[in-house]
Amino acid sequence: MIQRTEYTTIIAGPCAVESFEQMDTVCNTLSRLGLTHLRGGCFKPRTKCDTFRGLGVEGLAIMSEMRRKYGLTIITEVRDTKHLDLVAETADIIQIGAKSMFDNDLLLACGELKKTIVLKRNFAATVKELVSAAEFISSKGNDDIILCERGIRTFETNTRFTLDLCGVAWLKQNTNFPIIIDPSHAMGLAYGVPDLARASVAMGIDGLMLEIHPEPSKALSDARQQLDMKQFEQLYSSLIPIAQSIGKNLI
């Protein structure tokens, strides 16, 4: 469980689980750096229906294998209540994606679980609507919820979304939930992710979620925003002193 503490948890992995080899490369890097939280989508919500929608059950099996081999904490998205039992068998932490934030039935079903839930803010939701969505989960007894800022839609079109750090400051002040930031989806372009990640860590958040891929240009989803292994390692090194300067440690 990620809690509001002196730690900032780094969660990294590809947008989508694509193959055993891809995940093995990512996990090697995480393990070498002493990091423990792996992300990767198996049921992908997509904007265009003719694009890769994830490996589904096969992807979950790869994630389970990564947990067994590397002892990592697994974070993966559930998109549909009909997959919830399957996803819950594999995931240590279940992600509800931005596009599902308003799915009352999915929120309530996740509320019945005894598992940590990462709830991503919809790109058209206010921070109060995000908190209201979290209350659907907690109303069923599960208050082990992490809120994730991942960018909102504004008039700006040069970047994919706009990272709402004001909203994060509001959530820190007005809620008790742990808060993580996903700069990858906010920026949508890899070159901007390290700067946003450093700004996010400097805010004293509980976790940072990054999309990383062995060969981003070949990624089957979100190719433009993923960092390669070298870029990720360089970013990670630069985050350590920033976290320390505000009394936090990266884990």
Largest CA distance in the chain: 46
Q: Which of 13, 41, 214, 216 binds ligand PEP (CB under 6 A)?
A: 41
Q: What angle do CA 27, 213, 158 make, to 5 degrees?
A: 145
Cα(65)–Cα(133) distance, integer angstroms: 32
Report the Cα 50 to chain-centroid distance in Å.
Answer: 24
Size of site (CB under 6 A) for ligand PEP: 9
Q: Is 213 in the site for ligand PEP (CB under 6 A)?
A: no
Site membership for ligand PEP, residue 60 (CB under 6 A): no
- Among residue numbers 130 through 159, which ones bind ligand PEP (CB under 6 A)? 150
Instruction: Tell me how far apart the alpha carbons of residues 136 and 108 are, in angstroms, rounded to a whole number.
Output: 6
Helix axes of 165-174 and 193-202: crossing angle, nearest 10 degrees: 20
Q: Does 222 bind Mn ion (CB under 5 A)?
A: yes
Q: Which stretch binds ligand PEP (CB under 6 A): 3-11, 94-102, 128-136, 235-243?
A: 94-102
Q: How far is the CB of 15 from Mn ion (least distance, A)?
A: 3
Sign of CA dihedral 159, 250, 240, 179: positive
Indicate which of Mn ion, ligand PEP, none lies near residue 239 (CB less than 5 to 8 Å, by partner kind). Answer: none
Residues in contact with Mn ion by CB under 5 A are 15, 222
Residues in contact with ligand PEP by CB under 6 A are 15, 41, 45, 97-99, 120, 150, 185
